[in-house]
């Protein structure tokens, strides 16, 4: 082989090698390095959890699938999409951010390695109500990411479309019939007919017609039709009808239609009647309802009456006797036969045995706590009166109301007698604190005061508290007032200091009493101050001049407009009876005397029932 030929072979081989290398490089660049990360196929898509139609209020979950089919890692991947039309966002997984400007959901996926798949999802609730056939359509899904140092985006254009399946539901259709007197329907009574129509479906209903056939022998009050009907006419069957035309009844709404009619005189006793109504929607009858009743010719006890009074007159309190008077009246068209007046004893009262009249037909059942009378006959327009008494229980000491629940039963009737009610006043609750020194603890005269108050005010409950501290003086009482007196929240406070103060200086005493009075007034209570009682200064020489302290008490009380009770005067009339052998503390008679004198002062602060003036 010549040198020339060898060189040509070498050059040709080199060229072929370079060409192959270039081709490989181009292939790697275009089909590997520059391969797109996301492709428009099912690996990158949005799908719905439920296929087919949706109903208003139903939840739907959408899943967005993604797959990095490229040759490089994707960084900062974000997926965004708008909430589908006619839905409300509920939740997402992972948690998505909601853009405040666009309202779009933004999922921050982050980095995604090559040949890696993933998904995000979100839930919505279909709006309710919605018309049948309304479109629920997903919005465009956008991927934004960084790959090979550049920003990219990718869109999933295909939308998931669902249709709403909805309809109104007018099955909630019924008629209610009631006598406007509240009793059974009798000839001549006004009767109310209420037709209730509810749309329990998930779609608003429009252009509804409700047609009611007025029952035979009833006289329609045309002005009573509510809401105003467009038509009131006689149909082909010679029946009077009412037609309501409703523009719209929204899903979840209820519409009441009503009219009143009078039961005519052509009715027989216990004759039945039927009211019928139908609903038309979309040009067809979709529902029908009816309700029946009967008309009582007679008898009629519906106009019987009942009253209650306090046996003693005046205010009504726990412990009082109440008298019930029941008038049974027959306003029907025939006599009433073999029926009962039944009187359950009202709650919080006790039946007074033997208080009833017509004893030969009366009976009391302790098990049911009920008094009743058997009535054999009550002619048309006839009346009978019944009475009995009860005692109000102590459970109503704080007041309340007593209601009766009497009724008449029998002869095809069950009639409630119009209830009678009466209010029971609350007892008056007063707290009295007697504060002072050992003269309180020695005789416990506040207990005597409590007895006098309870005895003279039967409708008041007094809590009389003795708060005495041995050897205490007025200024010391000031110090303990808040913690030992005010805590009881008294309405009246009786102040009794001075026996220990005598000899300590009148100015200190006066200041202490004045400050106590101000403290009493500051908590809204009424202050009463009693004097120093009799002291035998022969036995207690240190107390000479104690009467000067009573003068101080009078002046302080006068200056502050406070009641002053002189116990010294009455006690000094018989000191041997009222004062013990130590010449200072009181005997039991002395304590009773003080209680009586203070009671007279307290009584001046109260009205006739025990309330503070």
Q: DSSP string spanning 159-218? A: PPEEEB-------EEEEEEEETTSS--BTT-EEEEEEEEE--SSS-EEEEEEEEEPPTTE
Is it the case that residue 132 has pLDDT exceeding 80?
yes
State both tokens at 8.
């040509």
Token pair of 592, please? 């009773």
Q: Residue 8 — very low, low, confident or very high, per pLDDT cuts 50/70/90?
A: low
- What is the structure's pLDDT at 31? 44
| pLDDT at position 390 over 60 | yes
| Confidence class for position 22, pLDDT limits 50, 70, 90 | very low
Query: Is residue 363's pLDDT more than 70?
Result: yes
- In CATH terms, the superfamily for domain 428-603 is SGNH hydrolase (3.40.50.1110)
Task: Give every strand in the sheet of 305-310, ordered side by side.
Answer: 305-310, 321-329, 383-392, 349-351
Q: For the segment 36-59, what is each residue's pLDDT rounded down to a tens digit?
A: 789 888 889 999 999 889 999 999
CATH code for the domain defined by 305-424: 2.60.40.740
Average pLDDT for 234-263: 89
Ranking 123-127, 169-173, 370-374 by mean pLDDT, the lowest is 169-173
Ranking 94-98, 226-230, 380-384, 590-594 by mean pLDDT, the lowest is 226-230
Out of 14-18, 88-92, 574-578, pick the least confident: 14-18
- Residue 371 predicted with pLDDT over 50: yes
Backbone angles phi, psi at 507, to 5 degrees: -70, -45
Quick check: helix, strand or coil at residue 5? helix
Backbone angles phi, psi at 338, to 5 degrees: 50, 65
Mean pLDDT of the chain: 91
Tell me the average pLDDT across 553-566: 98
Confidence of residue 231 (pLDDT cuts 50, 70, 90): confident
CA distance 129 to 88: 13
- Place 34 in a pLDDT band, splitting at 50, 70 and 90: low
Under DSSP, is residue 509 helix (H, G, I), strand (E, B) or coil?
A: helix
- Section 564-577 average pLDDT: 98
Identify whether the C-beta of residue 437 lies closer than 8 Å to the C-beta of residue 497. yes
Which of 407, 402, 346, 412 is closest to 372 using CA atoms?
407
Average of pLDDT values for 377-392?
94
What is the fold, at CATH topology level, of the domain defined by 45-163? Immunoglobulin-like (2.60.40)
What are the tokens at 412?
A: 């095809």
- CA angle centred on 331, ends 326 and 335, rounded to 5°: 95
- The pLDDT, as a whole number, for residue 17 is 53
**Pick from 117, 116, 69, 64: nearest CA to 94:** 64
Would you say the CATH fold of 428-603 matches that of 172-295?
Answer: no
Residue 565, strand partner residues: 530
CATH topology for 172-295? Immunoglobulin-like (2.60.40)
State residue 236's pLDDT score.
78
Binned at pLDDT 50, 70 and 90, residue 26 comes out as very low
> Is residue 301 scored above 80 in pLDDT?
yes
* 133 burial via Cβ count (<10 Å: 0-12, 13-18, 19+): exposed
Give the model confidence (pLDDT) of 262-286 as tens digits: 998 888 878 899 999 999 998 888 8
Share above pLDDT 90 across residues of the chain, in percent, rounded to a whole number: 75
The Cα–Cα gap between 504 and 382 comes to 86
Q: Which residues contact 95 (CB under 8 A, 6 or more apart)?
A: none
pLDDT digits (tens, 9 = 90+) for 158-209: 789 999 998 898 888 999 999 998 888 988 889 999 999 998 989 999 889 9
Q: What is the pLDDT of residue 314?
A: 85
Residue 279 in tokens? 């609903």
Using alpha carbons only, what angle is made at residue 151 by residues 146 and 157, rounded to the nearest 5 degrees?
95
Interval 103-112 mean pLDDT: 94
**Range in 77-81, 225-229, 241-245, 304-308 with the lowest mean pLDDT:** 225-229
Query: For residue 545, what pLDDT is reported?
Result: 93
Q: Residue 61 has what pLDDT? A: 96
User: How confident is the model over 251-272, as a mean pLDDT?
Assistant: 89
Task: Look at residue 388 in the predicted model and tell me its pLDDT.
Answer: 96
Residue ranges per structural domain of the chain: 45-163, 172-295, 305-424, 428-603
Average pLDDT rounded to a whole number, residues 362-370: 96
> What's residue 11's pLDDT?
54
Eight-state DSSP code of residue 22:
H
Instruction: Render pLDDT for 519-541 as a digit per residue (tens, 0 to 9).
Output: 999 999 999 999 999 999 999 99
pLDDT at position 28: 46
Q: Is the pLDDT of residue 298 over 80?
A: no
Checking if the pLDDT of 553 tops 70, the result is yes
What DSSP string runs through 416-452? Answer: EPPP-EEEEPPPEEEEEEEEESHHHHHH-HHHHHHHH
* Sheet arrangement for strand 116-126: 45-48, 59-68, 116-126, 87-93
Q: How confident is the model at residue 493 (pLDDT cuts 50, 70, 90)?
A: very high
Counting residues of the chain whose pLDDT is more than 70, the rounded percentage is 94
Which of the four pLDDT bands, split at 50, 70 and 90, describes residue 29? very low
What pLDDT is stored for residue 14 in this prediction?
Answer: 56
Does the structure show a pLDDT above 70 at 35? no
């Amino acid at each position: 082989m010549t040198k020339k030929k060898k060189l040509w072979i070498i050059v040709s081989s080199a060229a072929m090698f370079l060409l192959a290398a270039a081709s490989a490089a181009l292939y790697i660049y275009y089909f590997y390095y520059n391969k797109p990360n996301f492709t428009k196929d099912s690996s990158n898509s949005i799908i719905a959890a439920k296929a087919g139609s949706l109903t208003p209020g139903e939840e739907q979950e959408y899943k967005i699938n993604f797959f990095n089919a490229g040759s490089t890692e994707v960084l900062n991947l974000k997926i965004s999409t708008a909430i589908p039309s006619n839905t409300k966002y509920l939740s997402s997984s992972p948690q998505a951010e909601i853009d405040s400007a666009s309202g779009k959901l933004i999922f921050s996926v982050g980095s995604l390695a090559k040949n890696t798949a993933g998904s995000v999802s979100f839930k919505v609730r279909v709006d309710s109500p919605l018309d049948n056939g309304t479109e629920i359509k997903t919005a465009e899904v956008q991927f934004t990411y960084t790959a090979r140092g550049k920003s990219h985006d990718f869109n999933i254009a295909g939308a998931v479309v669902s249709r709403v399946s909805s309809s109104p539901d007018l099955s909630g259709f019924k008629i209610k019939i009631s006598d406007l007197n509240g009793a059974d329907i009798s000839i001549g009574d006004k009767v109310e007919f209420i037709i209730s129509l509810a749309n329990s479906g998930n779609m608003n209903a429009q252009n509804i017609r409700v047609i009611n056939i007025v029952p035979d022998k009833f006289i329609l009050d045309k002005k009573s039709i509510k809401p105003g009907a467009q038509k009131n006419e006689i149909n082909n069957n010679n029946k009077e009808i009412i037609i309501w035309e409703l523009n719209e009844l929204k899903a979840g709404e209820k519409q009441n239609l009503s009219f009143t009619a009078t039961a005519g005189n052509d009715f027989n006793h216990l004759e039945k009647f039927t009211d019928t109504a139908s609903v038309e929607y979309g040009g067809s009858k979709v529902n029908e309802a009816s309700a029946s009743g009967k008309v009582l010719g007679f008898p009629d006890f519906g106009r019987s009456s009942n009253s209650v009074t306090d046996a003693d007159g005046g205010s009504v309190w726990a412990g009082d006797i109440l008298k019930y008077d029941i008038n049974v009246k027959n306003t029907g068209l025939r006599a009433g036969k073999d029926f009962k007046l039944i009187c359950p004893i009202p709650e919080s009262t006790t039946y007074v045995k033997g208080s009833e009249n017509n004893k030969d037909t009366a009976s009391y059942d302790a098990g049911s706590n009920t008094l009743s009378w058997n009535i054999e006959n009550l002619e048309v327009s006839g009346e009978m009166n019944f009475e009995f008494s009860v005692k109000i229980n102590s459970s109503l000491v704080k007041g309340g109301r007593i209601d009766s629940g009497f009724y008449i039963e029998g002869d095809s009737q069950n009639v409630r007698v119009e209830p009678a009610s009466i209010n029971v006043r609350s007892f008056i609750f007063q707290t009295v604190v007697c504060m002072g020194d050992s003269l309180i603890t020695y005789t416990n005269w506040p207990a005597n005061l409590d007895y006098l108050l309870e005895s003279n005010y039967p409708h008041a409950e007094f809590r009389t508290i003795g708060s005495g501290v041995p050897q205490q003086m007025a200024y010391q009482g000031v110090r303990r007032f808040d913690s030992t007196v005010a805590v009881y929240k008294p309405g009246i406070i009786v102040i009794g200091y001075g026996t220990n103060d005598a000899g300590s200086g009148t100015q200190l005493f006066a200041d202490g009493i004045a400050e106590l009075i101000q403290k009493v007034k500051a908590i809204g209570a009424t202050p009463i101050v009693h004097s120093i009682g009799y002291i035998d200064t022969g036995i207690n020489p240190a107390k000479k001049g104690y009467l000067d302290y009573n003068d101080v008490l009078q002046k302080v009380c006068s200056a502050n407009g406070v009641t002053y009770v002189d116990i010294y005067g009455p006690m000094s009339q018989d000191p041997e009876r009222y004062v013990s052998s130590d010449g200072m503390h009181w005997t039991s008679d002395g304590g009773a005397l003080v209680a009586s004198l203070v009671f007279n002062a307290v009584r001046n602060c109260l009205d006739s029932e025990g309330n503070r003036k």
